[in-house]
């Protein structure tokens, strides 16, 4: 189902336009306050923008502005929302919970139950049909919530952090379920988890202060980020500057060499990514300046499983705890970060306008 959406809310600085093709899943990323929940609530019919219009498969969801006041009620939109909380009715069985959306559309009890059993089978939850929500684990309840959202045969499925409340051991199974049931279905998923985006989404939109700041195919956008937020999600160091014959010179004047081919023109605005695992750290010593050397004080030492992420204000490195201890690295220590040209990917950072 095709979605065309434009909306603005002046008080929130929200001004957004997006388009979703039939069967496309779009991941919406962004820091807190970027406008992700605003987008979901407008589409669901829970928040009315100052102006804008939206059509879903040729049907108007809203059309607001000068002399225009069309607003479709939430229950009549053909939009289902799945959040991190399953929000199942506690007094109903699992079967009745899933059948509820079908019953509310006028289906008779027998047909609604048959439809509910179909979707419970799709999410591997038929065995829970007679249980009450209080008897379900978090992962089981979320499976039932997915079935309930799909039982209404929505034209658009909104997923608002659907895996955020799940145990890390449960989330992969639910992610696989979503991957299967979202196939050929138009959906928007709000998430902070890059794995959700990479696994489930065809395209990524990154919001900042109510506007789109990055957009594109999922893998391309996350492999070649243009903002610090997206680079952080993708666990990449991001440097920006101007293209030179050897690579680039950063905005702070540091020369960066790269042996990885790039088609960015000389003199153009470029970005460079370096994986933290490719960065080395040594105590800063006065020596001749050279390429691929950035100096700075350590701002943070962040344990991440079996590695320690060493951060300055411009770059981060992943080191073993033993390496951090051997070098006697501490917050405030002045160090030199170095990396090989083979570990630097340079690409155009010229602004790309979102498709209309």
- pLDDT per residue as tens digits for the range 301-348: 999 989 999 999 999 999 999 999 999 999 999 999 999 999 999 999
Q: 241 and 217, same structural domain?
A: no
Q: 244 and 201, same structural domain?
A: no
Residue 279 has pLDDT above 50, yes or no: yes
Per-residue model confidence as pLDDT tens digits over 247-270:
999 999 999 999 999 999 999 999
CB of 34 closer than 8 Å to CB of 230: no
Buried b (16+ CB within 10 A) or exposed e, 113-131: bebbbebbebbebbebbeb
Would you say residue 268 lies in a domain? yes
Query: Hey, what are 204's tokens?
Result: 């990524």
- Name which of 162, 157, 213, 178 is nearest 43 in CA terms: 157
**Residue at a domain's end among 171, 199, 223:** 223
Residue 356 has pLDDT above 50, yes or no: no
Q: 270 and 177, same structural domain?
A: no
DSSP, collapsed to helix, strand or coil, labels residue 90 as coil
Q: 157 and 109, same structural domain?
A: yes
Tally of CB atoms within 10 A around 14:
22
Q: 190 and 325, same structural domain?
A: no
4: which strand partners?
A: 19, 55
Q: 303 and 159, same structural domain?
A: no
- Name which of 213, 266, 214, 272 is nearest 241 in CA terms: 272
- Phi first, then psi, for residue 161 (nearest 5°) are 50, 55
Q: 206 and 58, same structural domain?
A: yes
- What does the DSSP assignment read for 132-196? -GGGS-HHHHHHHHHHHHHHT--SEEEEESTTTTS-TTTHHHHHHHHHHHTTT--EEEE-S-HHH
**Residue at a domain's end among 203, 223, 243:** 223
Residue 125 has pLDDT above 60, yes or no: yes
Q: 306 and 194, same structural domain?
A: no
Q: Which domain holds residue 104?
A: 3-223
**Residue at a domain's end among 199, 223, 247:** 223
Would you say residue 230 lies in a domain? no
Q: 147 and 23, same structural domain?
A: yes
CB of 271 closer than 8 Å to CB of 238: yes
Residue 284 has pLDDT above 80, yes or no: no
Domain count, the chain: 2
Per-residue model confidence as pLDDT tens digits over 229-243:
999 999 999 999 999
Would you say residue 229 lies in a domain? no
DSSP, collapsed to helix, strand or coil, labels residue 209 as coil
Would you say residue 156 lies in a domain? yes
354 by Cβ neighbours in 10 Å (0-12 / 13-18 / 19+) ranks as middle
pTM of the predicted model as reported, rounded to 2 decimal places: 0.89
Q: 146 and 126, same structural domain?
A: yes
Q: 182 and 265, same structural domain?
A: no
Residue 316: CATH number of its domain: 2.40.50.100
The answer to whether the Cα torsion of 117, 154, 97, 124 is positive or negative is: positive
**Which band of pLDDT confidence, cut at 50, 70 and 90, is reported for residue 164?**
confident
Rg (CA), the chain: 24
């Amino acid at each position: 189902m095709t979605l065309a959406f434009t909306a603005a809310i002046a008080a929130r600085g929200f001004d957004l336009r997006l388009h979703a093709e039939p069967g496309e899943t779009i991941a919406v990323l962004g820091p807190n306050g970027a406008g992700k929940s605003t987008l979901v609530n407008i589409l669901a019919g829970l928040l009315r923008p100052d102006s804008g219009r939206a059509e879903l498969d040729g049907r108007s969801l809203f059309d607001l502005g000068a002399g225009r006041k069309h607003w479709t009620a939430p229950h009549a939109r053909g939009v289902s929302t799945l959040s991190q909380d399953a929000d199942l009715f506690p007094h109903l069985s699992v079967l009745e919970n899933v059948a509820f959306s079908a019953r509310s559309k006028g289906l008779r009890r027998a047909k609604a139950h048959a439809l509910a059993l179909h979707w419970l089978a799709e999410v591997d939850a038929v065995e829970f049909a007679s249980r009450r929500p209080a008897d379900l684990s978090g992962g089981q309840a979320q499976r039932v919530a997915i079935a309930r959202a799909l039982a209404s045969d929505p034209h658009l499925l909104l997923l608002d952090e659907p895996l955020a409340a799940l145990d890390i051991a449960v989330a992969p199974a639910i992610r696989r379920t979503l991957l299967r049931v979202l196939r050929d279905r138009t959906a928007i998923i709000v998430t902070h988890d890059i794995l959700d985006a990479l696994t489930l989404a065809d395209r990524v939109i990154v919001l900042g202060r109510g506007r789109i700041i990055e957009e594109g195919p999922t893998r391309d956008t996350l492999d070649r980020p243009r903002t610090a937020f997206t680079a952080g999600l993708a666990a990449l160091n991001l440097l920006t500057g101007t293209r030179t014959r050897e690579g680039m010179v950063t905005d702070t004047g540091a020369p960066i060499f790269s042996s990885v081919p790039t088609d960015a023109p000389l003199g153009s605005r470029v970005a460079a990514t370096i994986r933290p695992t490719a960065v080395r750290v040594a105590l800063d010593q006065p020596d001749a300046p050279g390429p691929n050397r950035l100096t700075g004080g350590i701002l943070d030492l962040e344990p991440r499983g079996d590695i320690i992420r060493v951060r300055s204000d411009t770059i981060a490195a992943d080191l073993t705890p033993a390496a951090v201890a051997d070098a006697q690295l501490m917050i405030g220590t002045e160090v030199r970060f170095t990396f090989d040209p083979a570990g630097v990917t340079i690409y155009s950072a010229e602004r790309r306008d979102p498709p209309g």
